[in-house]
Amino acid sequence: MLREWKPIRSECIQHFRIFDLMRETYISPRTGDQYPFYILQTMDWVNIIPLTSDHHVVMIRQFRAGIRSFTLEIPGGLVDSSDGSPLKAARREMCEETGYDSDEIFSLGMAHPNPAFMNNRCYTFFARNVCRIGEQKLDIGEDIDVCLIPLEKISELIQNGEITHSLVLNAFQWFMNSECRKKVPGE
Q: Spell out the domain ranges in the chain.
A: 6-42, 45-182
Strand partners, 27: 6, 34
pLDDT of residue 51: 97
> pTM of this prediction?
0.93
- The neighbour count for residue 97, using CB atoms within 10 Å, is 25
> What would the pLDDT profile of 26-57 be if each residue is shown by its tens digit?
999 999 999 999 999 999 999 999 999 999 99
d(C-alpha 15, C-alpha 7), whole Å: 21
CATH number of 45-182: 3.90.79.10
